[in-house]
Each structure stands twice: as C-alpha cells, then as structure tokens.
Structure 1
Amino acid sequence: MSDSREARIAAAFVDLADTLVDDFDPVDFLYRVAEHCTSLLDIHDAGVMLAPHGGPLRLVAATSEQVRLVELFELDAAQGPCQDAYVQARVMEHDLTVPGRWPEFSARAHKEGYLSVHAVPIHLRGETIGVLNLFRSIPDHLAGADRILARALADATAISLLQQTTLDHHRALGAQLQQALHTRTIIEQAKGFLVGRQNTDPDMAFQRLRTYARRHQLRIADVARDLVNGTLSATLDQPTDRRAPRDRLHGR
C-alpha cells in the first residue's frame, strides 16, 4: 500500500469519526461514507441503505443516479444481494455476468453498467442496521485488502452513528435514521425541481445543491426545502428576498 493511499485511508477514517458536533447532518455523513468507498476501493459506485429501528431497508445515499435506480429497483423487487446481506447479516458477493439467485436484479444492474456487486452489512452492537453496497464495472470480486477495508468502513459508519446516540441509543438512532430518510425525500424533490427547470441531470443537480449548502454553511435539507418552496432562486445564486440565507432559514 502506497504512502499516498495510506494517508487517504487515515484521512477518511478521521473524517468519519468527526461526528460529535451539534449540527451533525446524517445524510451528508452517509454521502461522505459512499464517496470514501468509491475513493478508496476498486469500485465504480456505492450506495448506503439503512433500516430505521423496526422498519424495512431504505436507500439513503448513492454516488450516482445509475446506482440509485438499481438500488431502488432492488428494494421494490425485495430481492437482491443487498437485501440478503441485510437479512442474513453477512457479506454478499455476486458476479452479475453469471446466472445466479437474483436474475431480475442482475439484469437491471447489468443494464446500468455494473458487472459485480459486494454488499457489506452495517452492524451496530449485534444488530444489523443497514448495508454498504459496492458496485463494480468488472465481473471480478474485490481483492482481499479491499474486502477488509470495506468491512472497516462499514464498522466505522456504525460506530460514528452510535456516537450520536444517548444511553437509550436504539430509540435515538431510529429517530435519526427516520430524519435521514425524510431528508432524502426532500432532496429528491429538489433534484427533480432543478432537472425540470434547467438543462441538467440528477447527479449535477445534487452536486449543485450540496455545493450551495456548503458554501453558505447550511444543511442540504434546508436548501432543498427552500428551493421546492420557492423561497430560494432555482439558479441557487441568491434567495428570493434580501435576507441572508442563514437568517432566512432560521427565521431571524
């Protein structure tokens, strides 16, 4: 392993550990998890599914529109490696070019350009709360070192989420994950809003939302909500009134 990659791995784990802040944003955190996976592992795309306490798996973060559609298809079909990794609480690897247990999922994933998938369950104190879904554009399985790193990233995700809970951590975690899923819905509405009004695609629309939120030190959900409500310009250049975004969003 090169010094450069070792440094990037160390920086990723430091970033994922930095969650003990008042304005912790679970959605942005899980997008960072997915992006670290694509940066550090030999994969093409990544997605994160979580299950609020007592509920079904839901998609929270994805690195591209293509993988988002594949993940949503899997959830709708209720069959696929990510579903099995969650239910069986073990890693699932699948070469999508070989007939297997999930023909409909394999066909859809192959249509989007993915030839293999590696699904890693996210465990929290003996409970499986989600799955890291890693998609490759080649049919081979992940190398041994990448499999170990993928498991470590899943563990770091669980530990970081745990840091945000109280002694009654299951109830707090369930509320946090519900918040993440609600936020995801708002973000998808804002992405569709931008796609429908500008010459852009869903991936670029999300990047514009995220860039604007970071530039103005706002939560991405607040930017998305204001955009859909019409209190923020569709150009993401300025709000529709003369107050600063932070003052407007917080009612000052």
Structure 2
Amino acid sequence: MPVPPTPGPGPANSSAPGFSRERRVSAALIDLADTLVADFDPADFLYRVTEHCMNLLEIGDAGVMLAADDGPLRLVAASSERVRLVELFELDASEGPCCTAFRQATAIDHTNLDIPSPRWPRFSACAHHAGYTSVHATPVRLRDQTLGVLNLFRRVPGTLPEADRHLARALADATAISLLQQTTLDQHRTLQAQLHQALESRNIIEQAKGFLTARHHTDPDVAFNRLRAHARHHHLRLTELSRDIVDGTTILPPPTSKGPVAEGA
C-alpha cells in the first residue's frame, strides 16, 4: 500500500482531493519551485517530489534516484517501504528501466511485469513479486545535465496515460531546476555538495526509521510518517530530528500514546 501523503505547508495543501487537478498541479509546481531559502532541506524536498507524484499521477508508488560526481545512482526518496526495497534491488542488480532511463537520458517504460523481460529479468521478477505490474521512469535532467531519475510504479499493466507522462516530465524537470538553482544561494555551496548531503541525509533518516520501527513494534511506513509529521509540526529539519532520535536526545512515544508528541531524553 502506498504511504498516505502528508500535507505540507503553504501551496502544497492544495493537493487535497477536494481541489481540481489543475489547481493541484499548479500548487505542486509552485511548491517545488519554492527552494531559494537559507534552510533548504534537500531530503524533505525529495520526499515532497514523491508525494506530488502520488497525488497527481495514476501510480501506486514513486521513488527518486540521484547520482553525484558522476558516481552511481543512489536512492534518495521513496513513497513506501515496499518500493524502497524494489529500488534498492534494482540498484544492486544494476538493471531495470530506472537505471536504463538514467544512462540513456530518456523516458523508459516497462508495460507488463507479468511477462518476464529478457532485458531486465531480475528486476522484472522482483517488481512483480512486490505487486507492481508496470513501471515508467523519466530522467531528472536540465538540458544536457542528467542528475537522476524519477521512478513511477503502477499496479495496472500498460503505459502511463499520455497526460500523466507529460506531467511526470514536468515534475522531473521542476526537480532538476530546483536542485540546480539552489547553487545561487551561496557561492561556496555546489550542486554536488547538495547531492552528497541528500545521500547522507537518507542514511540517518533510514537509521531513525529503523529505530522507531523496532522500538514501537510497527512497520517502516508508519514509523517514517510519524518521524516526518513530528519534524513538520515542530519546524525541525528531517535530518536533524532523525539524528537526535538515533542519538537518544529526542524520544517519540509509541503511536498509541496520548501524551506529548515527543520529549527530551
């Protein structure tokens, strides 16, 4: 099951089902463009990208991969634990439409996972076993610079609808532009530093998610939603809160607790 989107601040709240699709699209693009701030959080930004994909496109899950310093692709955001595991398998196997889309800098479709693919046999089996039936991958790029790939997993066979394909391209382009424009804030901050920060942030977030999963005997998706909701409620950076939870300086009560949201250790 996909992770229920967590409403974000400002225009992103217009992603609620009661709003027209046109208004939700506008709100998403405005939200993704609103990154020229001193406290820009790349980790939370990339998770918002997956949320907008879930809100606007006919998909079951979404993920974002990025590469830094001409290095290998790395997973930096995923809409659920299920798709996270599939994406990690794809990277480990070095095969799949997402990897191909990045290498070729063009959109790639895998329209029916029920039929074994000679092109990506291990990925096809893994994604099908996880409950997905088709995949659309589109590169995150600006002109001739490819930063990563946006991966859209569906539970119905066939290609992504044409309108959704164009919107996925727009969301991927907006992601690339937002990441690149961040370099104008500080001459000493480079795009590569931001990508490295996003990759490093993901590691500590995964540690905190695993800690909460074990401590509260819950599943990873519930743990992550609680982690992110607490960060937003208290205006904390997701990475900093995750580090405090791992260090033991912040404690979140179990999901059933009626007490305060968190307390200092």
Q: TM-score, normalised by structure 1?
A: 0.91
Match of 1:75 among 70, 88, 91: 91
Q: Residue type matched to 2:93 in 1?
A: A
Unaligned runs of 5+ in 2: 1-17, 254-260
Structure 1 stretches of 4+ with a deviation exceeding 4 A read 167-171
Task: Work out the CA distance in 1 between the residues paired with 2:219 and 2:196.
Answer: 27
Deviation at 1:231, TM superposition (A): 0.7
1:13 counterpart residue number: 29
Deviations 1:116-168 (A, max 9, x none): 00000011341111000000001111111111111111101011111101399
Q: For 2:95 and 2:223, locate their aligned partners in 1 and report how far apart those are by CA, in whole Å.
A: 29
Maintained 8 Å contact 2:140/2:176? yes
Cα–Cα, structure 1 residues 180 and 149, in superposed 2: closer, same or farther, change >3 Å?
A: same
Alignment partner, residue 129 of structure 1: 147
* Conserved? CA contact 2:108–2:136, under 8 Å: yes
% of aligned pairs identical?
65
- What count of residue pairs does the alignment treat as equivalent? 239
Shift of 1:171: 7.3
Instruction: Give the secondary structure class of the aligned counterpart of 1:79.
Output: coil
SS of the equivalent of 2:53 reads helix
Q: Pairwise mapping of residues 1-252 of structure 1 onto structure 2 (< 5 A)?
A: 4-94=20-110, 95-100=112-117, 101-166=119-184, 172-235=190-253, 237-240=262-265
| CA 1:170–1:217: 2 relative to 1, 3 Å | closer
Q: Secondary structure of the equivalent of 1:185?
A: helix
Partner Cα distance (2:74, 2:46) in 1: 13
Structure 2: distance between partners of 1:185 and 1:14: 28
RMSD, aligned α-carbons: 1.8
Give the Cα–Cα distance (whole angstroms) in 1 for the partners of residues 249 and 188 of structure 2. 36
SS at match of 2:251: coil
Letter in 2 for 1:98: I
CA distance in 2, matches of 1:34, 1:234: 25
Q: Contact (CA 8 Å) 2:38, 2:185: kept in 1 or not? A: no
Q: Deviations over 1:151-201 (max 9, x none)?
A: 111101011111101399897111001001101000000011011111211
